[in-house]
Structure 1
């Protein structure tokens, strides 16, 4: 019996990288996990297969985020997939992990780039949560994946950093709003994590520089973030809400 046995979780962007690590970790704790993907169905199915091979339970749902009607499409797919499995409706854990980057300092970011990163990273989770509240059971968990760039200035990703600041503010606001239902709302802020979406880490010099940011002298792994999320999703974190939890491995704590 895992800490999340009997619960249902949804991880947006759960097919790759940090999202996959979170999906696998929640499933290992006994949750039935909906692995959301935007366009890469094959990656999502591989994640579901890996969870099944490890003894867990998961299913894939597809919905492109950052476009009109995205939240409707996601929840329609989620409801249909649960019904097809004969599983009870509703949700206990929502992890808003899906996101995109927007490279460039302020003078390099186009209006289209800005609109796109805010549509995916801010508007989508806002309306996913809004339309998911009637499915989320009392005592549930909302966990938003933020970023260490809300604490550490990286001018080269200014617009992206702004979106994560908005996510942290949403987290704080919702924690107050949903507290009476026993729902906790927290954000988890990774630093640099070694996944396939960071191919630049394959360069030894870049990897060494990234590792030097952390107090531990290494680059983060998806499991480092997934373990924090699993804790926040558990009953052990019932008294924690409205918090932005730094999971950067102590990046840039001082000179």
Structure 2
């Protein structure tokens, strides 16, 4: 049965791959974006099937988060799966290592990461889950976390910390929402070959990053998307509460 799936931050990278995987499986996809309209349009144009939609919103704003869910529910007639992928603060351009940034830069990095990576996901999860509960829908929430929640992110500590919080949020919600037939899980990718990481992977650090995995490479977005598609499936109900490591054995815990 076709479902309606909201993928946040779907204008490129992992989000685009996730949107494509759900569309290929026959689901209707709401492609969310914040500012990259052209990228979101490209994602939409590449989706198999029809009935997909674009929805814009700055998830740092609770009102925008509410509007995003409302648009999806009204346009598609419901919401079955939420993928919390939108995030900021992971790129080299957004680096904020404590020893070398100003206090003002430190504040900006943390405030941006908390507002989008944690509070944005928390607000969307609340709104989506309440809709699922009120409609008696069998729901799924899948969070895109990070290996950095465990391994550490010395150059982007706000990113690592908010991803750790996102994992914890998912586990709390998994317990809270199970009686309502809503399963919640997370994936924790390592480096992924996205546009956001192109500068880092193509620079002098690139070979070292690829060498962190015994496979000698980083993940492709499609590999993350495949895991998300599984966790959102009926067969993965018993994985609710799990955080699935997707790092090519580059970090083991």
Q: Structure 1 length normalisation: TM-score?
A: 0.89
Say yes or no: does 1:40 pair with 2:36: yes
1:72 counterpart residue number: 66
Structure 2 matches for 1:46-57, cutoff 5 A?
A: 46-51=42-47, 54-55=48-49, 57=51
Measured in 2, the distance between the counterparts of 1:69 and 1:57 equals 25
Contact 2:34 2:56 in 1 (8 A): yes
Aligned residue for 1:71, secondary structure, equals helix
Contact 1:207 1:219 in 2 (8 A): no
Say yes or no: does 1:176 pair with 2:200: no
Deviation at 1:196, TM superposition (A): 0.8
Say yes or no: does 1:246 pair with 2:240: no
Deviation at 1:26, TM superposition (A): 0.8
Aligned residue for 1:115, secondary structure, equals helix
Question: Please, which of 85, 90, 95 is the counterpart of residue 97 of structure 1?
Answer: 85
Structure 2 matches for 1:40-189, cutoff 5 A?
A: 40-51=36-47, 54-55=48-49, 57-82=51-76, 89-101=77-89, 102-107=94-99, 108=101, 109-136=105-132, 137-189=136-188
Measured in 2, the distance between the counterparts of 1:60 and 1:169 equals 29
Measured in 1, the distance between the counterparts of 2:64 and 2:98 equals 28
2:221 counterpart residue number: 222
- CA-based RMSD: 1.8
Contact 1:61 1:81 in 2 (8 A): no
1:144-203 per-residue CA deviation (whole Å, 9 max, x = no partner) reads 110001121231111111101110110110000001112110011111011111122452
Say yes or no: does 1:29 pair with 2:25: yes
Q: Structure 2 length normalisation: TM-score?
A: 0.89
Equivalent residues, number:
242
Say yes or no: does 1:16 pair with 2:12: yes
Deviation at 1:204, TM superposition (A): 6.0
Measured in 2, the distance between the counterparts of 1:154 and 1:128 equals 25
1:101-140 per-residue CA deviation (whole Å, 9 max, x = no partner) reads 1522234352122111100111111111112223225321
Following TM superposition, where does structure 1 have runs of at least 4 consecutive aligned residues deviating by more than 6 angstroms? none
Quick one: structure 1 residues 162 and 42, their matched pair in 2 at CA, closer, same or farther if it must change by over 3 Å?
same
